[in-house]
Amino acid sequence: MRSLFLSYDSLLSPLGQSQMLPYLRGLRGKGHRISILSFEHGAGSADAQAQLRRELTSEQIEWRALRYHKSPAVPATAFDIANGIRTARAMIARGDIQILHARSYMPMLIALLAAGPRKIIFDMRGFWADERIDGNLWRMSRPDHRLLYRLAKRLERTGLRRADHVVVLTDAARRMLGELAGIVAAELPPVSVIPTCVDLARFQPAADKAASRRELGLPAAPILVYQGQVRTWYMLAEMVALVCHAKRRWSDLMFLILAPAEHGFIRETCAAAGLVEGADFRLEALPHSEVPRWLAAADAALCFIRRPSSKRASCPTKIAECLACGIPMVVNEGVGDAAAALTENRVGPMLPAFTDAGYDHALNELQTLWRDPDLARRCRDVAESRFALSDAIDKYDEIYTSLDTKDPLWTNARGGKR
């Protein structure tokens, strides 16, 4: 069977490079025939897009890239969705596509309007509508945002009823599905938990951390690292506060920030706390291929996320990547299954509160972990047992195989022909 993977995110973005392409290539390696429809956000150059297209063609993966439009927000998104529906229908008409794999909500809308009798995987990722509210991207005080929220929740319910398989990132998210208003358990299709995973061959501990630091121009002092986007969910000011608190213990400590954008905001936040670039923090924008060796050169990673109820469904990619590189994580509670996994396996402290006492507690725990000669191995073991890309590919392979049928008008698990 051929599947059509639908994404509103760019394949050329760090997200596409880490959380889409490796999975799809792995499924192709297991014999599945893959087509991709993505919306490219201007990430990378035309040369980079042409190079990726050549690579995918050589791997017998079909890729159709549409341009993403950002503003004005609602008309631009409506245009993109209409274009996506038209293109998906054309791709279905040309080939023998029998499964539509929708990554998040906008692709699910495209799938619902393009699939016909074909099977659909609703790869939710999280509770998108609730995240928009919790992240203050939509405000319920605004009538237009209230309408968008209601429409998105209706899409969520429709998608869950129509899907033949649902994928979420955490066990907490699977439990939350049973609590959704307007959904009863009998209406839910099979649900799989597949956390964001990591390519263990690429993300590895440093063979010689001291030598790696010299090559990268990093000091021999303790290094805390943060990798990824800032604003919205990620609490940069609070991470900077912990760094300032840590510098009372280790005056030469370096805060390494690997961020693709928002460099002005990052510099302003660090400067407001009294951190000096070069002496106290270092900011790098790196291609995704360079991230592993920079992570592996650090001593611990930070990941503080705002924790509304919707984030129980989250599984930040950076957690898997840092653990695979053999470094512990300092996280705050309330984010997916992450905090429990770290504390249970002794691979990172959980911050109890954003206070001096909370910072002291986390740093004391971290200092104890650093004295353990088995720490790096234990971090790696957790990555291998919980976040291995190969395991995620196997789970998707099982889902695809379970949906395999020669009859497009199948009988689903809830009875009746579609």
d(CA 415, CA 418): 9
Integer Cα distance of 232 and 216 in angstroms: 30
Omega prior to 308 cis, within 30 of 0: no
DSSP conformation letters of 330-388: EEESSSTTHHHHHHHTTSSPEE--SSHHHHHHHHHHHHHHHT-TTHHHHHHHHHHHHSB
- Distance between CA 69 and CA 80 in Å, rounded? 7
Where does the pLDDT of residue 344 fall: very low under 50, low under 70, confident under 90, or very high at 90 and above?
confident
pLDDT, tens only, 267-308: 999 999 999 999 999 999 998 889 999 999 999 999 998 875
Encode 91-127 in three state secondary structure.
HHHHCCEEEEEEECHHHHHHHHHHCCCCEEEEECCCC
Crossing angle for the helix pair 263-272 and 236-246, nearest 10 degrees?
Answer: 40
Question: Does residue 410 register a pLDDT over 90?
Answer: no
| Residue 227 binned pLDDT confidence (cut-offs 50, 70, 90) | very high
Tokens 């605004």 sit on residue = 142
* Domain 209-386 in the same topology as domain 2-195+389-402: yes
> Could you report the per-residue pLDDT of 360-385, keeping only the tens digit for each?
999 999 999 999 999 999 999 999 99
Residue recorded with tokens 């990824």: 228
pLDDT tier, 407 (very low <50, low <70, confident <90, very high otherwise)? very low
- Considering the four listed CATH numbers 3.20.10.10, 3.40.50.2000, 3.40.50.2300, 3.30.1860.10, the one that applies to the domain covering 2-195+389-402 is 3.40.50.2000
Judge: domain 209-386, CATH 3.40.50.2000: yes
Per-domain boundaries in the chain: 2-195+389-402, 209-386
Q: Examine the pLDDT at 50 and tell me if it is beyond 50.
A: yes
In the predicted structure, residue 414 carries a pLDDT above the cut 50: no
183 pLDDT more than 90: no
Q: What integer is the mean pLDDT of 14-18?
A: 88
User: Which whole number is the average pLDDT over 195-224?
Assistant: 95
Give the whole-angstrom CA distance, residue 364 versus residue 323: 20
- CB-based contacts of 355-360 (< 8 A; 24+ apart in sequence): 356/245, 359/241, 359/242, 359/245, 359/246, 360/245
Which pTM does this prediction carry?
A: 0.88
Closest by CA to 53, choosing from 36, 70, 69, is: 36
Check residue 336 and give its pLDDT: 60
pLDDT in tens, 58-87: 999 999 999 999 888 889 999 999 999 999
User: Mean pLDDT throughout 326-355?
Assistant: 85
| Residue 134: per-residue pLDDT | 82
Nearest to 279 by CA among 249, 246, 255, 248: 255
